[in-house]
A and B are shown apart, each in its own frame.
Chain A
Amino acid sequence: MAPAPSDAREEAWAAAMRAALAGDQAAYRRLLADIGRAVRPGIRAAFFRARLGDGDIEDVVQETLLAIHLKRQTWDPGQRLSPWVAAIARHKAIDAMRRRGVRRAEPIEDFEASLAAPEAADPHARSDVARLMESLAPRARDIVRSISLEEQSISATATRLGMSEVAVRVALHRALKALGRAWKATQS
Chain B
Amino acid sequence: MRTDELILALGADARRRGLSLPGRVLLALALGGCVSVAVFMAMVGPRPDIMPAMRTMRFDLKFLDTLALLAPALLLCLRMSRPEVSARTLLLWLLAPVALLAVAVAVELATVPSHLWMHKLIGTNWYHCLSLVPTLALPPLAALILALRAGAPRYPALTGALAGLAAAGVSATIYATSCADDSPLFVATWYPLGAGAVAGLGALAGRRWLTW
Please report B residues at the A interface, Cβ cutoff 8 Å: 1-18, 20-21, 81-84, 150-152, 154, 211-212
The answer on a CB contact under 8 Å between B83 and A32 is no
Which partner residue on chain B sits nearest A63 by CB separation? B6
A32-B7 CB under 8 A given contacts A21-B15, A21-B16: yes
Inside 8 A of A139's CB, which chain B residues have their CB? none
Interface size on A, residues (CB 8 A): 55
CB-based contact B2/A125 at 8 Å:
yes
CB of A66 within 8 A of chain B? yes
A-B contact count (CB 8 A): 122
Q: Specify the chain A residue showing the minimal Cβ separation from B86.
A: A87
A172 partner, pick from B1, B12, B84, beta carbons under 8 A? B12
Residues of A within 8 A of B12 (CB): 25, 147, 153-154, 169, 172
Does A73 sit at the interface, judged by CB under 8 A? yes
CA distance A66 to B83 in the complex (A): 15
Q: Interface of A with B (CB < 8 Å)?
A: 20-29, 32-33, 36, 58, 61-62, 65-67, 69-76, 79, 83-84, 86-88, 91, 121, 123, 125-127, 129-130, 133, 144, 147-149, 151, 153-154, 169, 172-173, 176, 180, 184
The 8 closest A-B pairs by CB, nearest first: A29-B11, A23-B15, A87-B84, A87-B83, A148-B9, A28-B14, A71-B152, A129-B1
Once bound together, how far apart are the Cα atoms of A91 and B86, in whole Å? 13
